[in-house]
């Protein structure tokens, strides 16, 4: 998502816009290989990961009833 709360449509590899704010990437971006236009956008993305705003989809883990399988 960008600063306006909209999902960026430039998610393909090699896009020329920042993944955070959508701003055009500077020419120096070609050597850094970063999907962000600035340190601020990079840190904003990192804080979203730390704040658990992003999640990776997975299958639910079955709940255990407290007993181990195979024990008597």
The distance of Cα 24 from the centroid of its chain, to the nearest Å, equals 19
Model pTM?
0.52
User: What was the pLDDT predicted at 71?
Assistant: 53
Residue ranges of domains in the chain, CATH in brackets: 1-57 (3.30.50)
* pLDDT tens-place string over residues 8-45: 444 445 568 999 999 998 877 666 778 888 899 999 99
For 5-42, give the secondary structure using H, E and C: CCCCCCCCCCCCECCCCCCECCCCHHHHCCCCCCHHHH
């Amino acid at each position: 998502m960008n600063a306006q709360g909209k999902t960026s449509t430039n998610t393909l590899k090699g896009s020329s816009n920042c993944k955070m704010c959508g701003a055009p990437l500077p020419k120096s971006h070609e050597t850094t290989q970063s999907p962000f236009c600035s340190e601020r956008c990079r840190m904003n993305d990192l804080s979203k990961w730390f704040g658990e705003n992003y999640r990776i989809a997975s299958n639910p883990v079955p709940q255990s009833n407290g007993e181990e399988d195979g024990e008597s």
